[in-house]
Amino acid sequence: MIENDLFLKALKGETVSRPPVWMMRQAGRYLPEFMAIKEKYDFFTRCRTPELASEITVQPIDIIGPDAAILFSDILVIPQAMNIEVEMKEGVGPWLPNPIRSVKDVDQVIVPDVHEELGYVMEAIKMTKERLANRVPLIGFAGSPWTIMCYAVQGQGSKNFDKAKEFCFTQPVAAHALLQKITDTTIAYLKAKVANGVDAVQVFDSWGGMLSPTDYKEFSWQYIQQIIDALKDETQVIVFGKGCWFALQEMAKSGAAALGVDWTCSPKNARYLTGGNITLQGNFDPSRLLSPPSEIKKMVTQMINEFGKDRYIANLGHGILPNIPVANARAFVDAVKAYGA
């Protein structure tokens, strides 16, 4: 039994004494302990070495004390397993030397045996569960098929992913074939994570907000829905679409256990759009963690008051920034823990 199961209770819509709290990207670059490991090992070595991934995952649990851990990994391990080369370049971020631009390129993409190609992730889960020793639940995650495709086609990060959109709009058959391959791989990957011990999964649609509502339905949402349908009877599924407030109404009917909300959508609107009967997660502006701790405490209290303490998971509206002082991250977590006390 997990000692602190607040997070799982909130996902199931049970009444809680206070909301659970965790932070996207909590296992990472704002922690000096993480930076010490980063100096010794490159990015994908950290992802592929179960001992390192598990150590990084547990660091924030010991240091700032959130109510859930999220496995340290990256959404781009999936394209790597699918025969798409991905590097992490200093100062550039993700770099794909051979971006996908044609039907022929899509044909070269495989749907892998996830146990074979991503076995190191499964080992990291087992090691992490041992280190956590049932203190808090463990979240596994994947990128949405659209978000993965954005990198695969663009070849790197982008402000508008124009090449990815061009590929969808000029070669829709090839785009849908690629999206389906990514979806099939993601479903197998998340199912393997659940079989190896994660307690919930989150799908990150980081670039969903790049699409119009109509294009979102065609090129993103229908594939996320496939993932929810395949996983919802096995585990709790959280969907976070950054900039996708326009899809919240449809998302709420999807069978997902919870929906992430970014800071551009107010708690009131998020509750209204989702009908008020699904767990919501978010939506503190990550930059607001640069405010003084006393200010953070006030804003966190207001945020919880507006969302309501039940069917709610306190979190950021996107990943924590690297320049956030650890004391401020801890102030955020502590403020949630002190709520109603």
pLDDT tens-digit map of 264-291:
999 999 999 999 999 999 999 999 999 9
pLDDT digits (tens, 9 = 90+) for 74-116: 999 999 999 999 999 988 999 999 999 999 999 999 999 999 9
Question: Does 206 show up as a binding residue in the annotation?
Answer: yes
pLDDT tens for residues 194-208? Answer: 999 999 999 999 999
Helix (H, G, I), strand (E, B) or coil at 338: coil
pLDDT computed for residue 214 by the predictor: 98
Question: What order do you get walking across the sheet with 279-284 strand by strand?
Answer: 69-70, 138-143, 200-205, 236-241, 258-261, 279-284, 312-316
Whether the per-residue pLDDT at 341 is higher than 90: the answer is no
Give the pLDDT confidence score for residue 265 in this predicted structure: 97
**Phi, psi (degrees; rounded to nearest 5) at 76:** -85, 5
Count of domains forming the chain: 1
Q: Is residue 140 within 8 Å of 178, Cβ to Cβ? A: no
CB 68 within 8 A of CB 22: yes
Q: How confident is the model at residue 312 (pLDDT cuts 50, 70, 90)?
A: very high
pLDDT score, position 340 = 84
Do residues 293 and 258 touch, judged by C-beta distance below 8 A? no
Kindly list the distances between the CA atom of residue 255 and the CA atoms of 53, 277, 294, in Å, as whole numbers in the listed order. 30, 12, 38
Q: Check the annotation: does 212 bind a ligand.
A: no
Known binding residue 318? Answer is: yes
- In this structure, is residue 74 part of a structural domain? yes
Residue pair 287/323 in contact (Cβ under 8 Å)? The answer is no
Quick count: other Cβ atoms within 10 Å of Cβ 102? Answer: 11
Q: What is the pLDDT of residue 143?
A: 98
Does residue 291 fall inside a structural domain? Answer: no
Q: Is residue 118 part of a domain?
A: yes
Q: Annotated binding residue at 36?
A: no
Task: Please give the C-alpha separations between residue 310 and each of 7, 20, 154, 258, 336, in angstroms, as whole numbers.
Answer: 11, 10, 40, 12, 13
**For residue 101, is it within any domain?**
yes
Q: Residue 74, SS3? A: coil
312 has binding-site annotation: no
Domain membership of residue 15 (yes or no) is no
- Interatomic CA distance for residues 156 and 298, integer angstroms: 38
* CATH code assigned at 183: 3.20.20.210
Domain presence at residue 325: no
Q: Which of 243, 99, 232 is nearest to 163 (CA)?
A: 99
Is 28 marked as a binding-site residue?
Answer: yes
Which two structure tokens, joined as six digits, stand for 82?
């699918």
- The answer to whether 151 is a known ligand-binding residue is yes
Average model confidence (pLDDT) across the chain: 97
Cα 11–13–19 angle (5° rounding)?
A: 70
Tell me, yes or no, whether 148 lies in a domain.
yes
Assess contact for 125 and 198: CB atoms under 8 A. Answer: yes
Residue 294 has pLDDT above 80, yes or no: yes
Distance between CA atoms of 124 and 207, rounded to whole angstroms?
27
Report the alpha-carbon distance of residue 169 to residue 218 in Å, rounded. Answer: 11
Inter-CA distances, 70 with 15, 22, 57, 108, 175, Å: 23, 9, 6, 32, 30
The answer on whether 314 is annotated among ligand-binding residues is: no
pTM to 2 decimal places: 0.97
Q: How far is CA 196 from the centre of its chain?
A: 18
Cβ–Cβ contacts within 10 Å for residue 313, how many?
24
Query: What percent of the chain is modeled with pLDDT above 70?
Result: 100
User: What is the Cα 270 distance to its own chain's centre?
Assistant: 19
26 is in an annotated binding site: yes
Question: C-alpha dihedral over 28, 42, 198, 209, to 10 degrees?
Answer: 60
List all residues 6 or more positions away from 281 whose beta carbon is below 8 Å from its beta carbon. 238, 240, 258, 259, 260, 261, 312, 313, 314, 315
Question: What residues make up the domain containing 37?
Answer: 22-280
Q: SS3 of 125, please?
A: helix
Judge whether 229 lies within some domain: yes
Looking at 41-171, list the stretches that DSSP marks H as alpha helix, in order from N- to C-terminal side: 43-48, 50-63, 77-81, 103-108, 114-117, 119-132, 145-154, 162-170
Q: Is 44 annotated as a binding residue?
A: yes
